């Protein structure tokens, strides 16, 4: 029997442990797993680019567990009342090959993406950061604020989107984050968000080489989480920002083709995130330097959140035990199951 975790099960888990506690536990799990970077067998994700989007498989394993996620990215889906990103994932026991968990991962992807951004911010943002900015108030935006509010004592949240309705939705949802004490301030453009923030996340979805932020507008000392550039030909940042900033990535083999750094023709980043977490390389070294986390999403983040959900689902008896794997009377007599 395999534990299957549905959307409603994730909702129950979050209510039982609280959103803030979930983010804190996930950030801790991500940090622990990235610190074990060399223990994992890693590959860039398998991507199939189709008209209108991308379909991806993201596998990874260590000595104990194998995980993978199926995920898409279709930026025009909202025009037909469909989500841009949906996902499902699985966790399996390496020793036997048996799956132990099948889970929804649309919500979990949003949670882990926000959590890894906040972890990166802890290593790369100024220690006294109090003001958070978000450009792009789509499906990922509230999660980004909630994750950073769990790890930082935020006083202000500045936000902007080309879509006024998305900004209104964002403002309503900010009132539903019980531990968020920050004042939320709508802005007239992205530059206004940028100039007032200590940490900023860019989270746009359109597949194009956009310049959501330009080099001339970037103030000294800011940390930028660029999470919208995540496939070939899809970027958000002025390449001049990358040339002058300290850039950290998740997994260079993947990011060089999909992230903001694809614009620089193979120039290496300062570091991979695991090097910050383990102390192999220092993160921020001055209050004036500009830092960038060029995040495209990596399979280790899915592994971490699936492991956490598996633990919590067992702890709180959440999920459904389903017979997705046959159990014949003898292991060599599969036909008997029919």
Residues in contact with 28: Cβ distance below 8 Å, sequence separation at least 6, in sequence order = none
d(CA 119, CA 278): 13
Query: CA separation (Å) from 60 to 202, 258, 306?
Result: 27, 18, 12
Which one of the listed residues 198, 230, 238, 302 is annotated catalytic?
230
Instruction: Specify which residues 147 forms β-bridges with.
Output: none
Name the residue among 246, 204, 243, 240 with its Cα closest to residue 224.
246
Residues 259/236, Cβ–Cβ less than 8 Å = no
Q: What count of other Cβ atoms lies within 10 Å of the Cβ of residue 177?
A: 19
287 is catalytic: no
Long-range contacts of 45-52 (CB under 8 A, 24+ apart): 45/254, 45/298, 45/299, 47/231, 49/231, 49/232, 52/76
Residues 139/83, Cβ–Cβ less than 8 Å = yes
d(CA 21, CA 110): 16
Place of tokens 């999660």: 143
Work out the angle at residue 44's Cα, subtended by the Cα atoms of residues 43 and 47, and round it to the nearest 5 degrees. 130
DSSP result, 148-202: HHHHS---EEEEE-S-HHHHHHHHHHHTT-TT--SEEEE-SSHHHHHHH-SEEEE
Place of tokens 């531990």: 179
* 3-state class (DSSP) for residue 53: strand
Which residues are tagged catalytic?
230
């Amino acid at each position: 029997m395999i534990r299957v975790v549905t959307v409603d099960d994730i909702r129950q888990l979050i209510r039982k442990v609280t959103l803030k506690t979930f983010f804190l536990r996930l950030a801790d799990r991500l940090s622990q797993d990235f610190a074990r970077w060399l223990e994992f067998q890693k590959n860039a994700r398998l991507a199939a680019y189709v008209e209108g989007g991308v379909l991806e498989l993201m596998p990874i394993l260590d000595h104990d567990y194998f995980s993978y996620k199926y995920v898409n990215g279709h930026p025009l889906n909202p025009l037909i009342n469909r989500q841009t990103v949906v996902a499902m994932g699985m966790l399996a026991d390496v020793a036997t090959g048996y799956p132990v968990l099948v889970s929804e991962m649309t919500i979990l992807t949003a949670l882990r993406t926000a959590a890894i951004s906040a972890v990166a911010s802890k290593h790369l943002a100024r220690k006294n950061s109090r003001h958070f900015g978000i450009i792009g108030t789509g499906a990922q935006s509230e999660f980004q604020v909630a994750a950073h509010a769990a790890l930082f004592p935020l006083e202000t949240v500045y936000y902007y989107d080309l879509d006024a309705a998305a900004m209104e939705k964002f403002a309503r949802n900010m009132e539903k984050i019980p531990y968020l004490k920050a004042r939320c301030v709508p802005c007239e453009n992205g530059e206004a968000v940028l100039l007032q923030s200590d940490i900023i996340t860019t989270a746009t979805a359109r597949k194009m080489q956009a310049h959501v932020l330009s080099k001339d507008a970037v103030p000294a000392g800011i940390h930028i989480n660029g999470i919208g550039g995540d496939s070939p030909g899809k970027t958000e940042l002025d390449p001049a920002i990358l040339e002058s900033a300290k850039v950290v990535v998740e997994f260079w083999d993947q990011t060089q083709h999909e992230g903001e750094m694809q614009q620089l023709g193979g120039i290496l980043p300062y570091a991979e995130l695991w090097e910050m977490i383990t102390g192999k390389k220092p993160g921020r070294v001055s209050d004036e330097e500009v830092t960038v986390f060029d995040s495209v999403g990596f399979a280790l983040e899915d592994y971490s959140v699936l492991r956490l959900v598996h633990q919590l689902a067992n702890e709180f008896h959440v999920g459904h035990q389903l017979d997705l794997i046959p159990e014949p009377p003898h292991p060599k007599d599969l036909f008997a199951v029919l």
